[in-house]
Structure 1
Amino acid sequence: MSEADPSSVPVLVEVRRGAVVESRHRGAIAVATATGRTVAAVGDPDWICFLRSAAKPFQAIAVIRTGALERFTITDQELAIITASHNGEPEHVTTVAGLLDRLGLTPAMLRCGIHPPFNQAAARRLEGTPPTVLHNNCSGKHAGLLAGCLAAGFSTSDYDQSDHPLQTAIAQVIAAMCDVAATAMPAGLDGCTIPTWAVPLRAMAVGYARLFAHSPYPEESRRVAEAMLAHPELVGGTERIDTDLMRAAQGKLLSKVGAEGVHVVAVPPCDRFPEALGIAVKVEDGDSFRARNTVMLAALRQLGLLSAEAYTDLAARYSRPILTHRKQIAGGLRAVFSLASDR
């Protein structure tokens, strides 16, 4: 495993104003099957990167393994919100609150902290009322962790600590899914207070492909993937690329972003990729909007996994031109990498 050498990280996106390149975003892309075969790469596929919120499907697997879904009759909608980085829209808040109520817990048990809803309309809807912990984009995940603690008989007051047994179980799931040693995964503290782990970019891609094939936890992986694909509106929300990408792909792509320029997509087994596929993106400067979106959409299009019509529609929303304050087009973003797969 390696850290990125700044001098060798390739440019993935150019930002042009007129005919001049005004800025550049560097990073890496890794494409791999569930069996670990590298299909394509740009930059260093062994660059060690924190999963951040891209870990949520794996964290959900650990929750399922405690027996929480059966004990508390957790629905597919609630499982989807456990994997989510949601907008804090009413549907998201209501779903998390309903899960907590069934657990016999209050929002005060959530240790993720408070921030305003990601969605501007949801934030305006509060009308001066302070946001609550339920509006945190990770509140569903934290509710799921509490469900796992209750099902396994673990303590609930310190579930965010690195030595908590559920966090240990999550690390083991990530290691198994990504085919790395748990002892080789550097740990950090995520924005929502729980541990986050770093793995090579290639390993992220392998882990996501295993949501659809060759998983060490086949039943749990199936349930997570089905819930996310069935309820993409809960995984992100209005004007969120995870939601819109899964809708556009009509069940053929599973998408989950992470902070600091991380985005991972899983592709179910198909004629071209019978072993399933994972595509992992990391933007070096941490840009989680214009660059990350531009890179993933271009990668999917180059791999033939996104139709021309879907690409054009999504790029118009998530790789927007640079505008003046009078809405004149002043420039735009352009993906400048070539990602050719061995078809």
Structure 2
Amino acid sequence: LSQVLGTSFKGWPDVMVILNKANASSEAYKASVEDCALGLAAVLLHSLPGIESSQGQAGVQRAYEEVSRIRSEVSQFEESDCRWTRMVNHGMFAHYPMLLGIDARFIQQCPPDAPRIFVYDMKGIADQPLSCARIGFWASEVYIDRFLRHSPCRVLDWRKADLFFAPAYLTCWELQKTRGFTLAEKDQSAQALADQVRDLPHWKRREGLDHVFLFGASAWQLPRWRDLFARSIVLAVESRPIFDCPSGKDVYCKHCEDCFQPWKDLVMPPVTPRPVASSLLSHSKPMEDRQYVMAWHGQHAEAADEEVRRAYTITNETVRLELLRNLG
């Protein structure tokens, strides 16, 4: 544990293996605490997404409470332990309180004139926030859901709701849960998701007019979304989503020009992952000390990696290149 404490776990190795060794028995766990309590806390924190997959939210809650207990018992050593303060990337799990609903902001009162939100329980399509929050840019699907789910403005009685939010971690579903699916299997799974949205119990009350749905990627992945959300509020990180992307080497996706309806839909910024934001802020300097006014973070169609270059080329992405050329 002392050796792994200083790692950043870049690339997300299987820290569950380390945790299982430390937790092989009550004697082994006790020895791990005595050997390096803060090292065990770091391993537990980095293992929470794996615990979520195997034990669900109840397991995550128990593990997080155990971390809090360990830290409270050795709190007098935290500031003097350079491995804990300087070598552990705390940005990797600084967002956990918000996702778990223990962020201090959630104990505030809902303003009297703020809308009340009913959040649907969408089961398997929105059930692994810690794992799905790893997907970076697209994690807005997770953050918005968890913020509303734990918000003081959330109501459990649908009759008191002004708006209904239907969470769906579509990008996580596409990148993780359908990996290895055939095209037919993926289409079948997507149709099942669309049917789940269509059958929401309070949808027909106003034909979806008071329902809110979020697309957190450059493609709006849900089949038949035009029919489903003709009257609903769509939150999107891309107002011109890509579609019609045939397979092949020299093909290009199209951008939808009429998908976004400004009379009802809203554009929101994508998520900058907390570890990345913390890393960027750590290099921030006062304006008078800066050699450069701004720094670029992201990929583009002229990247060195061929796969990345192709991904941005086929989507006809031009804004990033214009920024690089005009500001470079």
Query: Does the TM-score normalized on the shorter chain lie above 0.5?
Result: no
- What's the TM-score, normalizing by structure 1? 0.27
Q: Which has the higher contact order (CA 8 A, sep 6+)?
A: 1
Higher helix share: 2
Instruction: Report the TM-score, using the length of structure 2 for normalisation.
Output: 0.28
**Rg bigger for which structure?**
2
